Structure 1
Amino acid sequence: MGQPRPGAGHGDRRQQGPDVVYLIPDQLPKYARNIEPVDKYLDDAAKADYLPNVVTSVTIDGKMMGAPVLTSAVTPICNKKVFAAVGQTSYPTSWNDLLAMAPAFKAKGYDVTAYAGDVKNTLNQTFYPLLWQAGGDVFSPTASRSPSTARGPQGAELRQAARRRRLRGQEPAHHPAAIEQTRIAQNKVGCVWHVLPAEIEKFWGKENIQALPHFTESKQIGYGTVGSLSMLRNSKNKDAAGKWIAFASNAENSKKYDLAASFFSAKKSVGALYASDPVLGEQEKQVANSTVGPLNEKARDVQGVLAPEIQAALLGKKSVEQALDDAAKAADPLLG
């Protein structure tokens, strides 16, 4: 929706920036000063139709910084063939369940799970779900400090993650291998929580994917993204841009996009899109139990300093306490 630059000559094809951009929640705080809130461009019915956690995921200082058009829920998925080979007839609902199954998997030559510990992976899909499920959070309530010690849920959960790695086998926790080069693709891993069904279907077969609800420790929660349309503050066509955002994000039009791209709806009125799909249908049920992670301007920066420390703890290069203390020392200055 770009327009010619003011005063540009007939032959000048340079354009100003776009009026509308697509953003996910952890980008919103970083660009908030350049975004026009969309509240006044959406009618009350449209805003009321959004799922509550979806509205929260795009709201900063009481204002909606984007109009959501899609959601996801990255839940655990298990390999039915592996469970059959191990003789395991039930699926885990919690981390305690999974830990209890681990020795039987290991005895048969399988890994009960796999952790993607390369620092290039987003913590939103790897470590943070473990942290949230343990009752922890990435930032303190004032968002002025990162997880600062190993004395709270963060440390307890990282100790559990390290224990899980020792139980499940020796899948590398630090190499950025393509999924086809991992034991996951080789049908040697029972369950994962950071992989999308579409990524693994060609290796497992869709009929062998068992989608599960988010695991529970002290609470049931997991990661899911929200994609939204945001208007840039310097738009010269705000009324037109606002009308287009309202049109593109309405229940009917966003539903078409979601179905084409295998996402879930952000709208209550749409209901279930995948009730007949045994995999996506189960994950769709978890949208309301999903979170996008912290809405903090420094969220991605903090991930950058936490990830190598978490990796060091999982590989046994540092104690959990030392790794988390070192992570806090590196992260806190980023928050001012």
Structure 2
Amino acid sequence: MKNSIFKKFGLLFLVLVLSVVMAACNDDKEDTSNGSDNSSSGTTDNGSANTNNGDASKLSGEITVWAHPYTDGTTGEGDMWKDLVANFEADTGVKVNFEQIPWANRDQKILTALAAGQGPDVFYVIPDQMPQYAEQQLILDISQYVSQEELSGFVPTAIEATSWKGKQYGMPILQTAESLIYNKDILKELGVDENSLPTNWDEFKALAEKAKAAGYYAFSYAGGGSLNNTIYPFLWQAGGNVIDADNNILINSPESVKAFELINEMYTKGWIPQDSITALEHDSLYYGGKLLAVNGSGISVNYLLAEKPFEFVIAPPLKDAEQLTYGTVGMFVGSAISKNPEAAAEFMKYITNAENQRTFNNITQYIPTRDEAKDIFEAQPFMAQLSEYTKYAKPGVIHPEGRNIMPLVQAEIQAMLEGKQTPQEAADKSADAIDKLINK
């Protein structure tokens, strides 16, 4: 069995090591956000969910769980894990060997351990890792262990992000959602009512022109960063997409091309900074009061509330054909080589129930993937507002080649902004590059 596992891993391991994994890591280490620790309230479900045999007490043995540090270590995260593990052990009789591993080089660490038959039974991934592992049969299809009723309490976008080709592979524990965060001082200078902010592309473009005329940039476009934070949200809003699970390439569809055209218009009209072609971020411009708005999430709220460079207001995600935005999903998955898959699945259900999501997300300040657990933000209006937008949040391109697609598209957009090709040409060349990648 071990030899066959090594064969499975060879190509994937090489791809992961040589790909632009590290370029995507800033996205998948989810942002922490501001807020005081609040006591949980509302209805809770405690303990474990039922296993497929209907009785968690019949479980035994042990499992190994790997997770990452989700805070800076000063919030009681360590004690939280001790309590959660102890409660699960008491409820089920299963011994849990819990280990917290660093974010750096986690792909290599997980793959190497699994290839040696020594990997964890349960570990943490994000949506652009999940389909790679699923296609290589490295993670457990938990559809047999979790019912549709048990999944019904989750935000639909979180379930979408944790399933692949009709099979459930992960149990989601956290989400983020990005939306437009406006500088209220600039809005006031422009004579714009903060309660009547743009809801669609045309309204935003009109406001962008007004901001530029007053000497401000309207928006941050970091062309050297992740496409999740740049063109993808606009592409989804236009009704387009990059690629689907059946390898249909959609990035040069008429809907998708509209997003290329919008980015090109923003650049040629000076609504985004001149270095947008290759910039990694525009935080200094934004926090320095030179940018009207950014697509921000909890990390932006955290900084603005702590440092108070200006007052701000959050608007709902924009809409063209659809109202959508970007937001990642964090999930726990089970190893396909686990010797105790029932216990692994039970731990995944247990750690993501409403009560434990309240505990986890209250400490880490991410957004729960269960609506009933979002009551932890009752005293935090900005986080409560962002948590409402998870229903619009897509987690990027869910595809085994999702990470490797990004630099291909990024290169064509950069060439477009340099004036070397039209938006249609950039989209067509992106499609050609993706086709060569998936059919290599």
Shift in alpha-carbon separation, 1:60–1:169, aligned structure 2, 3 A: closer
Superposition deviation, residue 209 in structure 1:
2.3
SS in 2 for 1:26: coil
- Structure 1 gap ranges (5+): 4-13
Do the aligned partners of 1:77 and 1:210 also contact (CA within 8 Å) in 2? yes
SS in 2 for 1:173: helix
Superposition deviation, residue 287 in structure 1:
1.1
Task: Please give the per-residue CA displacement for 1:170-210, whole angstroms capped at 9, x wherever unaligned.
Answer: 44113445545x31121111111156424642697287121
Q: For 2:150, which of 42, 46, 66 is the aligned residue?
A: 46
Task: Please give the per-residue CA displacement for 1:139-190, whole angstroms capped at 9, x wherever unaligned.
Answer: 26842325246xx02222211221122241544113445545x311211111
The normalised TM-score by structure 1 is 0.87
Shift in alpha-carbon separation, 1:131–1:21, aligned structure 2, 3 A: same
Q: For residue 379 of structure 2, what is the amino acid of its counterpart?
A: S
Shift in alpha-carbon separation, 1:105–1:268, aligned structure 2, 3 A: closer
Superposition deviation, residue 271 in structure 1:
4.3
Q: For 1:36, which of 136, 140, 144 is the aligned residue?
A: 140
Do the aligned partners of 1:186 and 1:203 also contact (CA within 8 Å) in 2? no
SS in 2 for 1:317: coil
The normalised TM-score by structure 2 is 0.67
Superposition deviation, residue 127 in structure 1:
0.5
Do the aligned partners of 1:30 and 1:298 also contact (CA within 8 Å) in 2? yes
Give the 5 Å matches for 1:61-210.
61-89=165-193, 90-118=196-224, 121-139=225-243, 142-148=246-252, 152-165=254-267, 166-168=269-271, 170-177=273-280, 179-180=282-283, 182-193=284-295, 196-198=299-301, 200-201=303-304, 205=308, 208-210=311-313
1:59 alignment counterpart:
163
SS in 1 for 2:172: strand
Do the aligned partners of 2:301 and 2:382 also contact (CA within 8 Å) in 1? no
Give the 5 Å matches for 1:314-333.
314-333=417-436
1:26 alignment counterpart:
128
Superposition deviation, residue 37 in structure 1:
1.8
Shift in alpha-carbon separation, 1:200–1:86, aligned structure 2, 3 A: farther
Q: Please say if 1:249 is aligned against 2:352.
A: yes
Q: Which has the higher helix share?
A: 2
| C-alpha distance in 1 between matches for 2:307 and 2:207 | 20
Question: Greater relative contact order (Cα 8 A, min sep 6): structure 1 or 2?
Answer: 1
2:387 alignment counterpart:
284
Do the aligned partners of 2:170 and 2:334 also contact (CA within 8 Å) in 1? yes
Tell me the number of residue pairs that the alignment of Structure 1 and Structure 2 aligns: 321
| C-alpha distance in 2 between matches for 1:112 and 1:251 | 39
| C-alpha distance in 2 between matches for 1:179 and 1:163 | 19
2:41 alignment counterpart:
none
Shift in alpha-carbon separation, 1:153–1:53, aligned structure 2, 3 A: same
Do the aligned partners of 1:224 and 1:287 also contact (CA within 8 Å) in 2? yes
- Structure 2 gap ranges (5+): 1-63, 66-96, 98-115
Q: Please say if 1:17 is aligned against 2:123.
A: no
2:332 alignment counterpart:
229
Do the aligned partners of 1:106 and 1:169 also contact (CA within 8 Å) in 2? no
2:404 alignment counterpart:
301
| C-alpha distance in 2 between matches for 1:309 and 1:194 | 25
- Quote the sequence identity (%): 26
| C-alpha distance in 1 between matches for 2:363 and 2:331 | 16
Do the aligned partners of 1:46 and 1:250 also contact (CA within 8 Å) in 2? no
| C-alpha distance in 1 between matches for 2:348 and 2:245 | 33
| C-alpha distance in 2 between matches for 1:37 and 1:207 | 47
| C-alpha distance in 2 between matches for 1:140 and 1:243 | 31
Shift in alpha-carbon separation, 1:312–1:202, aligned structure 2, 3 A: farther
* More displaced 10-residue stretch of structure 1: 190-199 or 274-283: 190-199
| C-alpha distance in 2 between matches for 1:91 and 1:170 | 22
| C-alpha distance in 1 between matches for 2:241 and 2:272 | 28
Do the aligned partners of 1:23 and 1:228 also contact (CA within 8 Å) in 2? yes
Superposition deviation, residue 235 in structure 1:
1.4
Superposition deviation, residue 43 in structure 1:
5.4
| C-alpha distance in 1 between matches for 2:243 and 2:422 | 21
Shift in alpha-carbon separation, 1:252–1:203, aligned structure 2, 3 A: closer
Q: For 1:239, which of 342, 358, 368 is the aligned residue?
A: 342
Superposition deviation, residue 52 in structure 1:
2.2
Shift in alpha-carbon separation, 1:178–1:142, aligned structure 2, 3 A: closer
